[in-house]
Structure 1
Amino acid sequence: MSKFLLLAATLTFSASAALAQTYSVRAYGAVADGRTVTTAAIQKAVDACTKAGGGTVEVPAGIYLTGTINLKTNVNLHLDDGAVLKGSPILSDYQTYSVPGFGTNHYGILYSVHADNVSLTGPGTVDGNNEVFYDFTQAKTLDTATTRYTRQKNNYRHVASGIGDGPVVPKDRPRQMVIFSQCTHVRVIDVSLLNSPFWTMHFADCDAVNVDGIRLWSGLLVPNADGIDVSSSSNVTIENCDIRSGDDALAIVGYDHHFEIAGFSGLKHPCENINISNCNLQSYSSGIRIGFLDQNTVRNVNVSNCNITNSTRGINISLRDEGSLENLTFDNIRIETKLRTGDWWGNGEPIHISAIRGNADKSVKMGRIKNVRFSNITCRGENGILLYGTAESPLQDVQFHNITFDFVDSPLNSVAGGNVDLRGNLDPKLGLFARDIPGFLAEHINGLTVDNFKLNWDGAKAPFLSNGLEVNHFTGLRIRDFQGTGAPGNAKAQPISLQDGAEAMVDGKLRKAK
């Protein structure tokens, strides 16, 4: 063997040997009694591991009370069966960061920045201990300014007693429970992430991320406790996960301007190449949210073989600023949505797509939502499917193929039904507002295809229900094999209503809009 090959083999063996090393947190003084704060001991194990070239930091069974731990390059934090990293109830045990205009905040339990080949694995648990950071006896309520344009006015989402659907009231708390910021080659495998006091897991400006087989239950009554947030990251796979969260179960967003919600900044590229499959999702907000108050593009997102149940919104694609949301595909998905009480966003829509200005700077050009495809979708919901573009930003090239929607009656119609929720825009009259509700409503859209859509009114007879399929302000509309009627009990409701549009083809025949 040549000296070069011998040296290469030696270096490869040395690197592999280093990565195979195991560092038990017990050996560095961690105490698993659930009372002693063990942050420093666990950090010593992580630091020793990365300094030696990497390996596995093992957390044996037991409850380890901790503040913020910094994961680093070539470190796999492995939680054994029965191992629990439990968040300290004392806020000062968490590392701080400052955001201009927002004061001092605290990181959560795990924070990794500029790390490569970093992992969180094993059958153990990270527990955010949110019971100490919320008042679970009180619910946040909507103010009268927010509800003044709703059908119910001050009675909107009213609860006669108790806290209803929450959300419960937060106290001072740590922020994201698990953060990977500007990291590459990230794996989160098999772990349980429970009881987060804020967003549960955030990938910010990361590349090459794999999340597989995790259980993430942040608590359905807890506000801001998103499941997984992916912002300005690339090449991300999320699969085989069970996510149940108060706020969005999955949020895919792109930031461009200076962004420091967790003490990092400089996220200036699209969020792209995201694959989500074989997941069960529940949320008192959106099962999947793509976009919102973002300044950069989200593109190339594929979602397949998922269940979205017990949620307030199913799939939510929202644009309020520059940048675009494009090349989004959804296939083989079951969606079940409900109306809620309390201060949650969304109002029972199985699918929500909206593009309406939220940036007050008129020099900023609104982005576009375009090239969105839904196929093989089965819905059961207490409000209609909503597509809401605007003259400033019409929706473009949206397709629906093989859709079944059971529009069901809601026990909350008297306090929440008959409204549209477009909050986050500049016009309060188009935030939460009363409107008659079709089974499928599309406003300001160019290039809509609806192919093999079956609409069933399942006991839904509220007086505010209207047409089966309604499209207004459109060009290039194609409808084929729509099976449905207007709402039962509404003599004026039509199966298909078209207004202010051109180029409408219904079952191969040209149809004029009113």
Structure 2
Amino acid sequence: MKETNPLSRRQWLERMAVPALAGAGTMIGLEAKGTPRKKEKDEVAGTNIYNIRDYGAKGDGTTLDTKAIQNAIDKCFNNNGGTVLIPPGNFLSGTLELKSNVTLHLSAAAKLLGSPKREDYTAGKGVPPGNGNIVFLYAANANNVSIEGNGTIDGNGLAFYNGKGDNTGPGQHGVGGNFDRPHLGIFYQCTRLSLHSVFCTASAYHCFRILGCKQVHIDGVRIYNRVNKNNDGFHFNNNEYVHLVNSDVQCQDDACALFGSNKFVTINNCTFSTRWSVFRFGGGQSQNIAITNCLIYETYGCPIKISAGKANIENLIFSNIIMRNVTGPIGIGFGGTDNNNTPDTQKPFIRNIVFNAIRATVVAKPVDHPDIHFGVSVRPGESNSCITLNAMGAYYLENISFTDVHIQYAGGGTAEQAAKRSIPEVAAEYFGVWETAPAGPPAYGMYARNVKGLTLHNVRFEYDQADARPAVVFDNVQDASINGLSAKGSEGAELLRFINTKDVLLTATRVLTPAAIFVQIEGAASDGIMVEGGDLRKAKTALNCTNGATTSAVVVK
């Protein structure tokens, strides 16, 4: 049927935003510029739409529309909230402050474009300066803040590229770093923050920094952030009740960092790709976090990285995760002290970490992404990577489990790597320990040091190219259960190496390719190791004890 008297998009949005009055039979109309009729003020408070063009925004991509857009936001806020509409067009802007009860709605053909000029940006009022607080969009100490719609927020970040990063990587401490450039969005101490459907791209720095917020809901957000150094996706710091779902992130640096004390967080049904890391934890009290149904691809520098000098981290679950073409698939480093070596008032811990239903392919070394215009060098220790569980000194990782985890490695590890026994006590980054041991990890599948309560159930390690290293190395591991481990061996090395390790039960182990030795026990402290059943036919020798270990430490049934 031919439509008669069609409504414009603006008219439709205005009418749908206003509830019908009971018995009136008609929709309440709206005055221009979102100003309600006086007699209807109470009924429509908080439901008005403020089209930024009505406040003077041009949308031609060259006129600076900052003042017009901010006037619309302020008017909306002063009238008890509503929706600020970004209609079709390219709206050039500097720093904008979002406020309580304001929804920023970007139409499908709308682009909010960051100014290429530094003088058009300011620090966010009330936003602390950590990692810089120059920003494009921000809200501080606000409630009910939303960004929605199928439009685009473009940070114009290539205009700020000068070849320098913020120098906050391992050992750099930010010295000489480039902090004077805008983040795309910062939200500080906000409650009920919602980001929905919007496409965010080309930030000059991090994309979203979400700091000290509560009740955060992010659904269907797309991030493509690969024009500058430190082009992170999401940074969550010290938040509670965060839910990230159905989102896609392609970035250059950390895709989904969870720093500080994040609690009650779920991340579901998302895809990620980045040069450095996806789920990165460090410091604070990260607790009660569930991450499931996620796809990770072309990600280097460790997709799941828990790097903590001093922290209380517990109750993390990673499940139903596919990793394609990654390095260092999982890394946990724990030193128990901070950088200033301050005394412990409460003993730090990392415990109760679950990895379930993981499938991964691990490449030999990182590869440059073709759409990142500057090269990224490969760090020592990133090549021939493995799962690393690395605690030090008097500190232990506790209750770590791997269930239904199958990983295909590139292989190619050397006898020099396999010979490594003295591993430097470094826990800053997953690959940090291997940077100081240039030969690289002594295992191709898993290296674990100082772990209590380690479970491997239905774990499978394979490689494409012959690897001279053991599949698994345990160093000072206590109370471990290995059931249904299947792994490829090396004719020149042991499949499993246990150093000063005690109370381990191995059942139903399968040696997939010829190995010189099934399990080698090293160190006088090794004790209570029991081997029950399994298919060991391809191991030339079942057991070897050396470096002070004796056969009394092992029972083979």
TM-score bin, normalised by smaller chain: 0.7 to 0.9
Q: Is the contact between residue 133 and residue 170 of structure 1 (CA under 8 Å) also seen in structure 2?
A: no
How far off its partner does 1:84 sit? 1.1
Q: Which residue of 2 aligns with 1:286?
A: 277
Answering whether residue 340 of structure 2 is matched by residue 360 of structure 1, we say yes
Report the Cα distance in structure 2 between the residues aligned to 1:475 and 1:31, rounded to whole angstroms. 67
Report the Cα distance in structure 2 between the residues aligned to 1:400 and 1:188, rounded to whole angstroms. 33
Q: Is the contact between residue 167 and residue 177 of structure 2 (CA under 8 Å) also seen in structure 1?
A: no
Q: Which residue of 1 aligns with 2:382?
A: none
Q: Which residue of 2 aligns with 1:303?
A: 291
CA distance 1:64–1:314, change in 2 (3 Å):
same
1:9-36 alpha-carbon deviations (Å, 9 max, x no partner): xxxx967722221001111111111111
Report the Cα distance in structure 2 between the residues aligned to 1:457 and 1:185, rounded to whole angstroms. 47
Answering whether residue 360 of structure 2 is matched by residue 369 of structure 1, we say no
Q: Which residue of 1 aligns with 2:306?
A: 317
How far off its partner does 1:502 sit? 1.6
Match of 1:89 among 116, 134, 142: 116
CA distance 1:104–1:96, change in 2 (3 Å):
farther
Q: Is the contact between residue 158 and residue 228 of structure 2 (CA under 8 Å) also seen in structure 1?
A: no
Report the Cα distance in structure 1 between the residues aligned to 2:288 and 2:246, rounded to whole angstroms. 20
Q: Which residue of 2 aligns with 1:114?
A: 141
Unaligned residue ranges in structure 1 (runs of 5+): 1-12, 147-168, 255-269, 339-347, 412-417
Q: Which residue of 1 aligns with 2:359?
A: 378
How far off its partner does 1:364 sit? 3.8
Root-mean-square deviation (CA, aligned residues, Å) is 3.3
Answering whether residue 235 of structure 2 is matched by residue 229 of structure 1, we say yes
Q: Is the contact between residue 446 and residue 476 of structure 1 (CA under 8 Å) also seen in structure 2?
A: yes
Give the 5 Å matches for 1:125-140.
Answer: 125-135=152-162
Q: Which residue of 2 aligns with 1:273?
A: 264
TM-score normalised by the chain length of structure 1: 0.78
Answering whether residue 308 of structure 2 is matched by residue 328 of structure 1, we say no
Give the 5 Å matches for 1:449-460.
Answer: 449-460=455-466
Answering whether residue 442 of structure 2 is matched by residue 437 of structure 1, we say yes
How far off its partner does 1:325 sit? 1.1
Fraction of identical pairs, as percent: 27
Q: Is the contact between residue 133 and residue 173 of structure 1 (CA under 8 Å) also seen in structure 2?
A: no
1:102-157 alpha-carbon deviations (Å, 9 max, x no partner): 89955211110111111000001111111111146x999999x99xxxxxxxxxxx
Report the Cα distance in structure 1 between the residues aligned to 2:497 and 2:85, rounded to whole angstroms. 62
Answering whether residue 192 of structure 2 is matched by residue 174 of structure 1, we say no
Number of residue-to-residue matches in the alignment:
437
Q: Which residue of 2 aligns with 1:246?
A: 252
How far off its partner does 1:74 sit? 0.4
Q: Is the contact between residue 98 and residue 104 of structure 1 (CA under 8 Å) also seen in structure 2?
A: no
CA distance 1:500–1:14, change in 2 (3 Å):
farther
Q: Is the contact between residue 314 and residue 337 of structure 1 (CA under 8 Å) also seen in structure 2?
A: no
Q: Is the contact between residue 133 and residue 171 of structure 1 (CA under 8 Å) also seen in structure 2?
A: no
SS at 1:109 equivalent: strand
Q: Is the contact between residue 201 and residue 225 of structure 2 (CA under 8 Å) also seen in structure 1?
A: yes
SS at 1:374 equivalent: strand
Report the Cα distance in structure 2 between the residues aligned to 1:301 and 1:214, rounded to whole angstroms. 20
CA distance 1:213–1:457, change in 2 (3 Å):
same
How far off its partner does 1:362 sit? 3.4
Report the Cα distance in structure 2 between the residues aligned to 1:315 and 1:429, rounded to whole angstroms. 16
Report the Cα distance in structure 1 between the residues aligned to 2:238 and 2:197, rounded to whole angstroms. 24
Answering whether residue 62 of structure 2 is matched by residue 35 of structure 1, we say yes
Q: Is the contact between residue 329 and residue 360 of structure 2 (CA under 8 Å) also seen in structure 1?
A: yes
Give the 5 Å matches for 1:5-20.
Answer: 17-20=44-47
How far off its partner does 1:78 sit? 0.4
Match of 2:52 among 3, 25, 46: 25
How far off its partner does 1:496 sit? 1.7
CA distance 1:68–1:102, change in 2 (3 Å):
closer
Tell me which amino acid in the other structure corresponds to 2:342: K
How far off its partner does 1:354 sit? 1.1
Q: Is the contact between residue 337 and residue 350 of structure 1 (CA under 8 Å) also seen in structure 2?
A: no
CA distance 1:76–1:97, change in 2 (3 Å):
closer
Tell me which amino acid in the other structure corresponds to 2:404: N
Match of 1:391 among 385, 390, 393: 393
Q: Is the contact between residue 423 and residue 430 of structure 1 (CA under 8 Å) also seen in structure 2?
A: no
Answering whether residue 204 of structure 2 is matched by residue 204 of structure 1, we say no
Q: Is the contact between residue 317 and residue 353 of structure 1 (CA under 8 Å) also seen in structure 2?
A: yes
SS at 1:30 equivalent: coil
Q: Which has the larger radius of gyration?
A: 2
SS at 2:53 equivalent: helix
Report the Cα distance in structure 1 between the residues aligned to 2:357 and 2:147, rounded to whole angstroms. 34
SS at 1:44 equivalent: helix
Report the Cα distance in structure 2 between the residues aligned to 1:225 and 1:384, rounded to whole angstroms. 26
SS at 1:48 equivalent: helix
How far off its partner does 1:199 sit? 1.2
Deviates more, 1:86-95 or 1:102-111: 102-111
Tell me which amino acid in the other structure corresponds to 1:276: I
How far off its partner does 1:316 sit? 0.8
How far off its partner does 1:204 sit? 0.6
Report the Cα distance in structure 2 between the residues aligned to 1:449 and 1:460, rounded to whole angstroms. 26
CA distance 1:300–1:141, change in 2 (3 Å):
closer
How far off its partner does 1:498 sit? 1.2
SS at 1:495 equivalent: strand
Deviates more, 1:307-316 or 1:222-231: 222-231
Unaligned residue ranges in structure 2 (runs of 5+): 1-39, 364-384, 414-419, 510-527, 531-544, 550-557
SS at 1:286 equivalent: coil
Report the Cα distance in structure 2 between the residues aligned to 1:495 and 1:337, rounded to whole angstroms. 24
